[in-house]
């Protein structure tokens, strides 16, 4: 019985070590941590190709989750007098070596799941998604470019059906003083 108990303890310790190793933060998580903070945002929305942009201002709060394994972003603003909120959860999947983000908004009922990478040469993230909305498959490409420790730009491009890709959203972030 003691031998069985000893084997069980060794097995549990070994399993714990495997789980702990799999859960370690990668250097790529530091890129997400650098985005944490409170930001003033200037946003422009283009609702269709060639349409004039609709500018607005808002606040973005980005915070770490689960010891930095993920970040959560909450953007709050007003567009044409109507308040809106978007939420996003982003992480780096060490198994796939991809950044993964899930986005939802108070303005619609869809959930957008994006995946992509970070380009060292250009210094930017690029994430892509395909999802169903309004009877079509939409394609979204989001480019996030940190321009300094206290500024970044996120741009989302959309396309669907035979409509070519257009710039749909641009968000310019300026970090609030601490």
Per-residue pLDDT of 88-97, as tens digits, reads 999 999 999 9
For 32-45, the pLDDT digits (tens) are 999 999 999 999 99
Domains parsed from the chain with CATH numbers: 27-175 (2.40.128.20)
> Which pair of tokens denotes residue 10?
């060794």
Burial class (CB in 10 A: 0-12, 13-18, 19+), 72: middle
pLDDT of amino acid 151: 97
* pTM of the shown model: 0.85
- SS3 at position 18: helix
Q: Which alpha helices (DSSP H) does the chain contain, by range?
A: 2-22, 28-33
For 91-143, the pLDDT digits (tens) are 999 999 999 999 999 999 999 999 999 999 999 999 999 999 989 999 999 99
Whether 11 has a pLDDT exceeding 90, the answer reads no
pLDDT of amino acid 80: 86
Alpha carbon distance 82, 175 (integer Å) = 24
């Amino acid at each position: 019985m003691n031998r069985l108990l000893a084997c069980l303890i060794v097995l549990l310790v070994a399993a714990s070590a495997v789980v702990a190793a799999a859960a370690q933060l990668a250097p790529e998580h530091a890129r997400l941590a650098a985005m944490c903070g409170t930001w003033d945002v200037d946003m422009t929305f283009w609702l269709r190709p060639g349409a004039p942009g609709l500018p607005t201002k808002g606040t973005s709060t980005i915070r770490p989750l689960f010891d930095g394994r993920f970040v959560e972003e909450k953007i709050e603003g007003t567009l044409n007098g109507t308040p809106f909120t978007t939420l996003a959860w982003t992480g780096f999947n060490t198994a796939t070596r991809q950044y993964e983000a899930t986005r939802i908004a108070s303005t619609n009922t869809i959930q957008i799941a994006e995946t992509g990478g970070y380009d060292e040469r250009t210094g930017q993230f690029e994430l892509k998604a395909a999802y169903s909305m309004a009877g079509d498959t939409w394609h979204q490409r989001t480019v996030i470019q940190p321009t300094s420790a206290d500024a970044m730009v996120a741009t989302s491009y959309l396309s669907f059906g035979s409509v070519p890709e257009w710039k749909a959203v641009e968000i310019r972030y300026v970090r609030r003083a601490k």
